[in-house]
């Protein structure tokens, strides 16, 4: 059974750096093809894909946020970490991590964490 759970601060100040951790179970990020992605959703708005890391440490970022994002993995701890620099109130959102299946062409997310709401305010 695959589960994911996001953790991190619920409140950050403008200009600060946000660090979110996705802790997962039921799969290994060393398995060929597997990926873990981050998606966010501002209150009342649409989903926005942020980043994804593959089993082989290959990484992809949303072009609009690439300069502010870093995604890393710790395979031994079953964790993926997302950092976002220079936070702004418009970054207030629920942040989700999600599992990408192992099949080469499986570019969707079949399991999602519950999400964590991050508010950016002074």
Judged by CB under 8 A, does residue 113 bind other proteins?
yes
Site pattern 47..86 for other proteins (x: CB under 8 A): xxx--x-------x-xx-----------------------
- Strand stretches in the chain, DSSP E: 3-7, 11-12, 18-25, 35-41, 48-54, 59-61, 69-74, 79-84, 93-100, 111-112, 116-120
Q: Total residues at the site for other proteins (CB under 8 A)? A: 21
68: three-class secondary structure by DSSP: helix
Closer by beta carbon to other proteins, 74 or else 110 = 110
Q: CA 75, CA 71: separation in Å to the nearest integer?
A: 13
Q: Which residues bind other proteins (CB under 8 A)?
A: 37, 39, 46-49, 52, 60, 62-63, 96, 105-110, 112-115
């Amino acid at each position: 059974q695959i589960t994911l759970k996001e953790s991190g601060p619920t409140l950050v100040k403008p200009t600060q750096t946000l660090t979110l951790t996705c802790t997962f179970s039921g799969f290994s990020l060393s398995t060929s093809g597997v990926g873990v992605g981050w998606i966010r959703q501002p209150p009342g708005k649409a989903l926005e894909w942020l980043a994804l890391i593959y089993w082989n440490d290959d990484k992809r970022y949303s072009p609009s946020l690439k300069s502010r994002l870093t995604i890393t993995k710790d395979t031994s701890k079953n964790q993926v970490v997302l950092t976002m620099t220079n936070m702004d109130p418009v970054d207030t959102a629920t942040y989700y991590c999600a599992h990408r299946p192992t099949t080469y062409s499986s570019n969707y997310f079949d399991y999602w964490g519950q999400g964590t709401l991050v508010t950016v305010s002074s």
